[in-house]
Structure 1
Amino acid sequence: MTESIVLSVIKDAIYTAIMISAPILVVATVVGLIISIFQATTQIQEQTLTFVPKLVAVALIGLLMGSWMLHIMLDFTTRIFALIANMGG
């Protein structure tokens, strides 16, 4: 296995991880920011107020984007297995 192949696999793995995690992270950040602004304006400092909406939003994104995330992971896995198969022969 050459250095260029290893770097290519690492780059592909990082790109795949970012693509899979980005929707959940963006939604959690936006919901957290909105709740924080709401808490600052109303002076309500309840800890569960930030947790529950984030949990619901992340669960919804997981349900809505789950098949897309699975498709991205399967494509990556297929590429890795094809690379392993080509190296053996």
Structure 2
Amino acid sequence: MTPEVAVDLFREALWLTSMIVATIVVPSLLVGLLVAMFQAATQINEQTLSFLPRLMVIFLTLIITGPWLVRELMDYTRTLIMNIPSLIG
């Protein structure tokens, strides 16, 4: 395996990881921002107020995008396993 192939595999793995994390984290960040703006406008300083909406958005995001995320991860894993003979020799 050449260094270029190793770097390419590592780049693909990092891209897939960042895509999976961003798919889950970005909606949570947006809801957290909206709740924070609501708390600032109403001066409600309850720490647990932002937890439940973000948790619900994460669950909803995983329900909606879960099959796609698993399919992407399985495609990457399948491609990696199928290419093992060509990567070794």
TM-score (norm 2): 0.93
Task: List gaps (5 residues or longer) in structure 1.
Answer: none
- Mapped to 2, the partners of 1:13 and 1:25 lie a distance apart of 18
Aligned residues: 89
Partner residue, 2:81: 81
1:27 is matched with which residue? Answer: 27
Per-residue CA deviations over 1:4-37 (Å, capped at 9, x if unaligned) read 0100000000111111111211101100000000
In structure 2, the partner of 1:3 is 3
Distance 1:17 1:32 in 2: 22
Find the counterpart in structure 1 of residue 61 from structure 2: 61
Aligned partners of 2:87, 2:33: CA distance in 1, in Å? 48
Q: Calculate the aligned-residue CA RMSD, in Å.
A: 1.1
Whole-angstrom CA distance in 2 between matches of 1:25 and 1:85? 36
**What is the CA–CA distance in structure 2 between the aligned matches of 1:85 and 1:45, rounded to whole Å?**
58
Segments of 4+ in structure 1 off by > 4 A?
none
1:34 is matched by which residue type in structure 2? L
Aligned partner of residue 50 in structure 2, secondary structure = helix
CA distance in 2, matches of 1:84, 1:75: 14
- CA displacement 1:24-68 (0-9 Å, x = unmatched): 111011000000000000000111101110000000000010000
